[in-house]
Amino acid sequence: MIKPVLKDLIITGNPKIHGKLQFTETEDIGDDFYLSGTACIGTENSKGEDNFDFTIITPKALERELGEGSDIILGAGYFIVNRLDFELITKEINQILLKHQGETWEDIAKNLAPYFSWEYADSVRLNGEEELLEMIKRHSNESED
């Protein structure tokens, strides 16, 4: 069983609003913000990690977004918070990871889809050189037609 581990947390925003692009710790930026988060997730014994993106938004910012012409905002990948709190966000991500182990990394990534957008979600996975050569041949034939 593969156990995912949070290796890093990156939170970025709009420097015009808060005066900085990246946040590295909890700070008081008020209760009206919409930020981007990236959970860098790997396994305990690996150096590598994949990026899983999500949105951090406050109720006030969510209300503003809806008031500015958005009729609907889908909830997948949103962390709705009252304040920017790294410890709270990290704790929540770690709780999610504890519940979503898997037999393969792809299984884990699929299980995390309600919370995050995996950087490789729309990628093509090949199982070896033969599959790669077959794909190249198929695309070459399609180009000739």
62 near 37, Cβ under 8 Å?
A: no
* pLDDT recorded at residue 65: 85
Quick one: pLDDT band at residue 141, thresholds 50, 70, 90?
confident
* pLDDT recorded at residue 126: 56
Q: What is the pTM of this model?
A: 0.79
Q: What percent of the chain has pLDDT over 90?
A: 53
Fill in the DSSP letter of residue 82.
S
